[in-house]
Every structure is written in C-alpha cells, then in structure tokens.
A and B are shown apart, each in its own frame.
Chain A
Amino acid sequence: MKRAARLIIFYAALLGLWTLLAQLKIWPPYLFPTPWGVGESLYAGFKDHSYWIAIAVSMRRVLIGYAISVVLGMILGLGVGSSKFLEETMGGLLVSLQSLPSICWWPLALLWFGLSQNAILFVVIMGSLLSVTLAMEDGRKQMPKIYGMAGRNLGASGFQLFWHVLLPASLPFIVSGLKQGWAFAWRSLITAEMLYLSLGLGQVLMMGRDLNDMSAVLAVMILIIAIGYVVDGLVFKSMERHLQHKWGLTPST
C-alpha cells in the first residue's frame, strides 16, 4: 500500500512537472507537447486501430526473433560452456561481438534479405542472440556439476540430459540473461522498424516525426516503454518468482 502511494506521488509529480514546462511555453507546442496532447494522440491511435495493428505487427516480429535467439543462443551457449576448445576459440569473439550495436547488421541484412520482414528479424536475432548465448554459457559453468552427474547416473544422456537436467538446472542462472536478451531484441526491433515502411511501432514513431507530430512520437515512445515493462513484469518477474519458489531461494514477498 505504502509502495503504491509512493509510486502515485512520484508519477503525479512527474506529470505535474511536464505540464508546468509545457504551460510555460518555453518551447512551441509542436516541439514540446502537453500530456493531454499525447493522451489525445494515444486515444486517436487506438481508435483508428493503427496502434493496435502496429503493436500486433511488432510483437509478432519480436516474439519470432526472440524465440529463435533463445533456441540458438542456448545451443551455442551450452556448447561454448561445455567445450574448452569452443570457449577458447569462440568465447572472445562472442564477447567482442556483443559490443556491436545490432543495427550495424542492417546494411548486410538488407543486401541478404531485401527490404523484408526477414531483414528485421535478422537484426532482432543478432541483437539478442549474444546475450542469451553468454548467459547460457555462464549458467552452464555456474550450475553445480552434481546435477549433470546425477542425471547421467540416472540414465539421462544426450538431448534428454539437456532438456531434463542441464536446462532446468541452469535456468536460475540464465533468467537475467534471458531478460536482457528480451530487452535487446525489443530495442533492435524498434530501431530496425524505424528505418523503412514496416508497419510496426518503429514506423509509426517515424511517421510522427515526418508529420511533425511530437505528440504522436511521444505517444508511441510511451507505448514502447509500456510494452517492455509489461513483458518484463508478466513474463520474467513471474518466471523468477516461480524459480525462487521451486528452488527455495529468497522467498518472494
């Protein structure tokens, strides 16, 4: 209850400050829109379904791209985490590749896939793959060895061992990496969508810029933040709580 009150006060103050700055008219309204201007943009966007469509298109892309990243990243990470050879050869490359913003792949993606959905997917995958890979590699190393041995001892091997033992055993260690991977995937998606007529949220944002409609730009920005927050809260927070409950880590409040 106390926490809710603090949150309300904080956001009310933020909104108040924004209103104040807008009302002072330091900048013209088309450069610094008022909160209700943004609210109107949001309302209009949802009313004519353009935001719904944009959200659906973007979510579909990010889900596909992220799913591919998770599967590939887990396989890669497990390989690098399990094999000394792979770690010595690929390990450094993976870390250095992570410093590369995924949008740098855009020119290549355009050449390879054309102006298409696949080019965007490629950028999304390149954005989140490395986070997942590095997290899985780390998780594989941090995971107590006893689980792998116990699994083999009880007759698990190959894919069974991965699916029933190594993966669940490493989950608590990789959940933060999965979360980071999601954030990178989401960011990469919006960036890539801003670059051409893609129908997604990124393009809607750029449309606001082209029409000099800063209310619309801010409205879409708020949408992007809100979706990121909701996914984090609904998917990853509950996943963490679930793991904590099962493993008997710090009890959730």
Chain B
Amino acid sequence: MSTNAHNFPAELPVPVDPRTPAPIGGARKKSAGLTPFVRPFRGVLSDVPKVGLTDICLSYRTQSGERLLALDHINLQVKAGEFLCIVGPSGCGKSTLLHLIAGLHQQTSGQVLIDGKRVQGPGTDRILIFQELGLFPWLTVGQNVEFGMKMKGISKAEREEKTRYYLRLVHLSQFKDSYTHQLSGGMRQRVALARALATEPDVLLMDEPFAALDAQTRDLLHDELERIWAETGRTIIFVTHNVREAIRLGDRVALLTFRPGRLKREFPVDLPRPRVLEDTHVAHAAREILDELREEINRSLEVEYNVGVKPHVEPGA
C-alpha cells in the first residue's frame, strides 16, 4: 500500500530528515540527554506518524451512575498523506475518536499525538467535518469558507483569494454569496469541505460526511474528495459505517469493535485508484471486512435489544 501511487504535489513526500531520529511519541521526551529538542518539519518526516493514538481510553458515567467504557486502548498510527478509513457498528465510538483527535473532547487516558506532539485542545492543524456539518447559517457560503482564516487573522486580500480558490476546488464558485439553506445537501457537504480545507489543516477528520446523501451525489463527492486529497496531499481520517465506501476511499481500513470500541483489525487496501464503488474488487475486499463487522453488529444488536448480553461495564467508580 503506497500513498505515492498518487500524484502528490512535489513538496510533500520528502525523504526522512536524518537529524531527527524520532520514534513514535519519542519527540516529546525532552529529558533525553543534552541534545536540544528538534521540532520535526511538518509533513516531512515520514517515520513520525502524522497522527498517533497511544492507549486512548474514554469512559463516561451513564445516567444510572455506571461507568461505561467507550474506547478501550486504541493504538493507531496514521502516516502523513495517508487516507485512513475507520469503520465500525454504530455506537462503537468512532465519531468520539475523531472528536478526541480534533481536541474537542478529552480522553480519560492515553495520548493523541500530531507529529509526535501532544494534542492539548482544538487546533487548525486538524479540522473536523461534522456529520451535521455545522455550517454557520448566518454567514454566506464565502464567509463560511473564510471563517477559519479570519480567526487566524489572515489578511482580507489573502482570505478572499483563498476563498475563491477553495470554492473553485469544490465547484461552488457561483454560490459564494448564497446562504447555506439555499443549497442542496451535496453542495452543503462541499461547502463544509472547502471550509475545512481553507484553514489548510494537515489532517482532515471526516465524520460520516456522506451518510445522508443520495447515491449519485455520494459517488460524485467520492471522486471529488479523492481528487482534492491527491491535489492537496492532506492526511485524511474518514469515519463511516459503509465498508464499501471505506474500501473505495481508503489506503487502509481500521475496524473498531462494538462497545467498548477496540481496534479489532486493520486492512490495507492495495487496489489501484481510482476505484469504483460497484467494482468487484472493491466488493471482494469489502466482503472480508463485512464478515468481521457483522459479528460486531450482531453484538450491538444483542445489547441494544437486550438479548442476554450486557454491555461492558466497569463496576463502581
């Protein structure tokens, strides 16, 4: 599985910088000797994962006072420029995982590392596209796209130029002055994508973005997302419950278990791009994942409908 199967822009895949032998998470250990801490170049070092999740656990208290374990020791590394898809049954905590990476929630234990550095809160180096999008209805499409740049304090001229660029990238140039409620679902998706890209994040986190769309629009957006990914070289973590969609898009597919969410297996996807959702190779690759996913879905059904099995509950505390 090679991310360079794509034509990335020239600046992205640069060989390893020999000065910084940085093991996973090791870049943070400032106490290690007298050598000064060298900050790795962003997006350059390919052996420091772009996103590193180490032993992520998340538990919360339910209304009945029990502590429910939502995520259980998730360890996952995502390379710069990689397209990772996360699949799992609903309720496995895959959306929550994205929120943790985005820094919008705090994990109970474990670390989220970006370029080996610990995530402390939200940051524009990783932008989450919410399932509900969260476009601002009081702003026009252009102003929505501009928003992150405005928060960063980028000059008006530069903002306008980039807004134009990203709206063109998602084919929405002529809707710059529309309000979001005037757009179709697919167009709103593209606004959300442009808004996220416009802050120029290294990592794009997408939470079932295409789940509510009709099949034609979704296929179209798959093509566009793949093209934009290739053009911009972003690292993408894409959560979906649709296994075929995961195979269609991902370099790798990670499967989470149902409550508590554990990393069950990872599947590299070696199919040549561009892939087609209906392709037999895609279907074949999906088969294998589906079989494993089905077990989890069955377990989730058993729990949801109270068929004997109880959810994983830590006693007390």
Tell me the A residues contacting B by CB distance below 8 Å. Answer: 146-147, 149-157, 160, 164-165, 168-169, 171, 243, 245-248
Is the pair A146, B151 in contact by a Cβ cutoff of 8 Å?
no
Q: Does B238 contact A (CB under 8 A)?
A: no
5 pairs from A and B in contact (CB 8 Å cutoff): A146-B134, A150-B134, A150-B135, A153-B130, A155-B152
Is the pair B138, A154 in contact by a Cβ cutoff of 8 Å?
no
With known contacts A247-B181, A248-B179, A248-B182, A156–B151 Cβ distance under 8 A: yes
Pick from B104, B151, B199: contact of A149, CB under 8 Å: B104
In the bound complex, CA of A235 to CA of B123 (Å): 38
Is the pair A153, B127 in contact by a Cβ cutoff of 8 Å?
yes
Q: Chain A residues with Cβ under 8 A from B104's Cβ?
A: 149, 152-153
- A interface, by DSSP: helix, strand, loop or mixed? helix
Q: Chain A residues with Cβ under 8 A from B139's Cβ?
A: 168
Is the pair B151, A248 in contact by a Cβ cutoff of 8 Å?
no
Q: Chain B residues with Cβ under 8 A from A146's Cβ?
A: 130, 132, 134
Pick from A154, A168, A171, A248: contact of B181, CB under 8 Å: A248
Tell me the B residues contacting A by CB distance below 8 Å. Answer: 102, 104, 122-124, 127-128, 130, 132, 134-139, 147-148, 150-152, 179-182, 195, 199
Q: Chain B residues with Cβ under 8 A from A147's Cβ?
A: 134, 136
Q: Chain A residues with Cβ under 8 A from B130's Cβ?
A: 146, 149-150, 153
Report the minimum CB–CB distance from A163 to chain B (whole Å).
11
Is the pair B151, A246 in contact by a Cβ cutoff of 8 Å?
no
Is the pair A155, B137 in contact by a Cβ cutoff of 8 Å?
no
Is the pair B151, A155 in contact by a Cβ cutoff of 8 Å?
yes
Residue among B127, B138, B179, B199 facing the most chain A CB atoms (10 A cut-off): B138
With known contacts A155-B151, A156-B151, A160-B151, A150–B182 Cβ distance under 8 A: no
Is the pair A155, B148 in contact by a Cβ cutoff of 8 Å?
yes
Instruction: For the A-B complex with A154-B151, A154-B199, A155-B123 known, give 7 more contacts whose Cβ atoms are closer than 8 Å.
Output: A149-B134, A152-B122, A153-B130, A154-B195, A164-B151, A246-B138, A248-B182
Q: Chain A residues with Cβ under 8 A from B180's Cβ?
A: 248
In the bound complex, CA of A171 to CA of B138 (Å): 9
Q: Chain A residues with Cβ under 8 A from B127's Cβ?
A: 153-154
Is the pair A153, B138 in contact by a Cβ cutoff of 8 Å?
no
In the bound complex, CA of A56 to CA of B122 (Å): 49
Q: Chain A residues with Cβ under 8 A from B152's Cβ?
A: 155
Report the minimum CB–CB distance from A64 to chain B (whole Å).
27
Report the minimum CB–CB distance from B242 to chain A (whole Å).
22
Q: Chain A residues with Cβ under 8 A from B151's Cβ?
A: 154-156, 160, 164
Report the minimum CB–CB distance from B139 to chain A (whole Å).
8
Is the pair A248, B137 in contact by a Cβ cutoff of 8 Å?
yes
Q: Which residue on A lies nearest to B179, using beta carbons?
A: A246
Pick from B128, B137, B148, B195: contact of A247, CB under 8 Å: B137
Is the pair B137, A246 in contact by a Cβ cutoff of 8 Å?
yes
Report the minimum CB–CB distance from B195 to chain A (whole Å).
7
Q: Chain B residues with Cβ under 8 A from A169's Cβ?
A: 136, 138
Is the pair A168, B136 in contact by a Cβ cutoff of 8 Å?
yes
In the bound complex, CA of A208 to CA of B145 (Å): 59
Report the minimum CB–CB distance from A235 to chain B (whole Å).
18
Q: Chain B residues with Cβ under 8 A from A160's Cβ?
A: 151
Is the pair B136, A150 in contact by a Cβ cutoff of 8 Å?
yes
In the bound complex, CA of A152 to CA of B102 (Å): 10
Is the pair B102, A153 in contact by a Cβ cutoff of 8 Å?
yes
